[in-house]
Structure 1
Amino acid sequence: MAESEGEIGENDKVSGRIKECLCQPCLIKDKQTVADKFCSTCNEFQCTDCSSVHDLLPILKSHKLVNAKEANASRVLLDMKGLDQCDQHKEILKFFCEDENKLCCSTCAISKHRKCHSVVEVDEIAGNITSRSSTLMEKMKKALQDAEGIARHILNSKDQLAQNVNEIPVKIREMRDKVMQMFDDLELSVAKRAKDLQKESLVNLTKKQSLNEKHLAHVTSIFETIDNVYKNGTSAQKFIAEQNMENEVNVLCRHVQEEIQNSDTATITFHFDDALKLPPLPITEYIPGQLILKSLRQGDANSDNTEITLTPVFSIDLKKTGDDMKEPFITGIDFLPDGRLVAVDKYNKTFLACNEKLEKVGSYQLSYEPMSVVAVSEDEVAITSGSEYIIEFLRVSKANEISLSGKINVSTKYFSVCLKDNRHLMVGTYDEQRPAEIVSLTAGQIFVFNINFPEKTYPLNKSACTYVRSSDKVVLTDRDGHTVYIYDNVTNTRVVVKGYQIKEPCGVAVGPYDTILVCSLRTNSIVQISQTGQILSSHKIDMDNPYRACVSCDKTFLAITNSCEGEMKIQKFKISL
């Protein structure tokens, strides 16, 4: 080692020169003092002043001191990179406190560990303990491999992000080309059909024109005859002409009037269907697609297969009160972002607000039978109706004051509802060909999914749906078929989920890691399903006929209501992974 490490370097061995070592404690204090002693126990070269501590402290008197010149000349001092120094005192760590399982320097041993029962020298205990070097090295190798794996993962992620970003304009251009081709084909097809319609109309117009010209010639002939008689004929001739021509003129006038009444103007126009109309908004406010950023932890590759645990935290029984006309029937529930629960009572046409303990803190009387409810912002909810063609919006203040904030008219009655994104709702229909569709929050415009749903119509209360935003999937329950369908809106494919755990599936919600939580009515349980259709877990609950479910915004709580006559409940569960 070099002089800074405590002894003269090998290259400094020249004739007539004596090898000298420096005091290591002094080096820590940035002093260079020639060492007189070497403590084999401390494994240190020390000067006279520093080595004198061995005579002062009883615990050090057993150490063996030799003349520095007599120490092993080939001894090499290892640079521990500060590992052998006390962080506080910058002294060599010479002791080990077995009571507190801590290394300590001389100062720490005296000031902090005087009351400890077992403070031993490192050299004494080191020889009696099995080395853990192999285990530590294995751990370090594993940590090094993991760190290198993370580095590769980050580089791959950067490359993947760059590739994804570059693919987006390509995908948009491909769609634009497809749309342009569609419009080119549409132009040719419509133009050809318009020509055919024009020919049909021209045939009818030509017939009408020929008939009109015949009447015109007849009228002209009669008019000329009568005019000539009136100008040049005798009174007798005029009388005869009037008598003979009156009936013919009346018939002719009637035919002309019929032609006037039947006369129309043929026009050909073209209008786009409502489904193809885009709102009159700038592209910055309306994007006909979704830009999704997904972040999946490297260790969470199978996180969508993580089973959950449900722990009951609150439960309330729903009873008829003095304000109710009937026994309550909760057909829709959801969490507000602040943790309050909102619900709709179909039989009593009531909207309810509950605190985190499920205690009622507010209510609002509705004029229609509500079907479902969903939170659309911090303090606003949307409610679907089973008796009116509307979606109504209520505002719920922090003080639980409830007021009507707006409504939109729709052409379909909706059963279930959830939030698709910040501008649209996804609604479940009944008695319609499409079991699910998209409704704009502002104008009530209808959009359709890129899904070929089976030609099956669900009656009221036989199906519910929800939307998985991260993967653009629609989840649909089929109560009579004891089936859950998971539709992929990107690939237009579906996964069919069946099992003995699923009997009459009703309400459905999106849980942690975007797994799917389904109310199995006849098994009195909540079934957890992965997006790939694997049944992960099934949880029996203390409730008959679980009917509707919702999950809090942070995915930590689940609320359930049921459809059991006379034993209506709302229960709240803590979700653990």
Structure 2
Amino acid sequence: MATGGLHESNRGNASDFFGECAITQSCEPCMKANIAKAATVLCKDCNEYLCETCRNPHVVYKGGKHDVVSIQDKQSSTVVVDMKGKDKCSEHGKGFEFYCEDHLKLCCTTCIIAHGKCNKWDEIASISRQKGAQLHGLKQSLLKLKSDADAIVAECKQTEEELNASVADLSKDLDEMKDRMIKLFDAAKRELLTEANALKSEEEKKLSKMQSVTTNVMEELNQLLPMCSSLADHGTPQQMFIFSKQVEERNITIESKINEQRMTEVSSKVTLSYTEELSSILEMGTKFMKVNLEQRGNPSSISSLSQSRPVTLELIVSLNLPKSEDNERKPFLTGLDFLSDGRLVAVDNQNMKCMILNEGLRRLGTPYTFKSSPTDVAVLSNSEIVVTCVKCLRFLSVSSDNVISLTRQIETSSSFSSICCKTPTQMVVSTIDDIRNVRMISVDGVETDFQQVEFPNKTYKLGDSSSTYVQSKNTLVLTDRRAHTVYLYNTVKGTSRAVTNGNIQEPRVACVGPGDTVIVCNENMNSVVHLTVDGDYLCTYPVDMKCPRTICVSRDRTRLAVSNCAKNMELQLYKILPTLNN
């Protein structure tokens, strides 16, 4: 069990591991929002650690008494992490010391006797140092599954509310007809409401079952994720290896359960339809109207886009970008990204500005002005963005009322053109005039390279290449404008594919599309190209502009923004719709 100041509400952070490591307590509300922030106070009544930002809302808006004490002087705790038997053989009760590659099985000193004739088995102590890093990728998979589970539970609750509201609305609809057909209407109303409530009851049973299954999945994820995080940050290589192998099978099972819930058809509301011959209603008895279930299919609004298939783009708004009074030059948008609340962030390379736009592409607040030209932008959270400039990264805060402020900047060894998030604390950047075409950099400025990726033996000028990263597929994407090629690298398996065909002409900026696919600006064909992470061609979508250059897709994968680099500068916003017949 954990010792020395770890809080119980970490859902097993310390109680699920073994070994010693230094832990600094994090703010729990921030952790739920995937924000790493150190706690400064402890609410003794709620047994919850808080930072200064979360302290006041906790006291004001959360019911009950709150005895808040400072933990500023507390030292980082040394903990003993216990894997709750996951490091021991269930058959012999001994600790795992070997791993058999032939049978993909962890073995103790007794088990290994039965595997003596196997071709490939190793001591965990000797191989775990090379393979322990797999835990980080597994953690991201667990986080995605937890996010999917949260979405399903939230959608179930919303659908249940819609069912209740729709049944309530039936009474209003029926009462509007009651004055004209009072005698028959009373009888019909009773029958229809009985039928509607019966349908509602059946749908609620489905929703209740979905919620129950998904809640159980969430409980398991809430146990695995803290354990995964603590091991990733503080566990020994042996612990990481053992835990990775233990959780891999559960990860597949959990994913299967999540996909099963996504495929379950549910109805969002009960609707009412009228017959065409209202003039003969008195002759029809009580069957002059009927209740219907309006099927919405999958409970998740984005689940229909979760597979690698073509989609449909529907133009929402198109905006010309002429030179304005507050700009010295025509805007040239080289970076776009969506905040999680739907606002669009854009960086103007020519006028050295960063701005926030609403769903109608109207500017919100006052743009932030840089001292040098920005090249790209990535959203870290709904309140923080990062912008690439000449040999530096600039981190800016974005308030809910659209005030942009510089918080800090990091000097870099190279100049970067594109930037995207790989994890909440690490970004992927493409370089300018550097043989290392794509690199990684942490939010603290630590630069690292991809170890299992062989990039083209060349350097790129500004605008000649761009990169993005498909987190769930461990896939790195690099565009080569002059070679008319899109490179896709699996950073875990070490495999790669160069996609070159007639559908790709001068590929520019790439981004992650619906169903963890890849969408690339196709400058020379006035279109965007849709690919799978394996490099298979899905579709080409024409856009109503010349020379599309910069592109991004919203967090919920329902909207796409694209800008160009032609004489007539434009910015367009599209709705992404599923193509059901594909």
Q: Identify which of structures 1 and 2 has the higher relative contact order when contacts are C-alpha pairs closer than 8 Å and 6+ apart.
A: 2
Q: Which structure has the larger Rg?
A: 1
More strand by share: 2
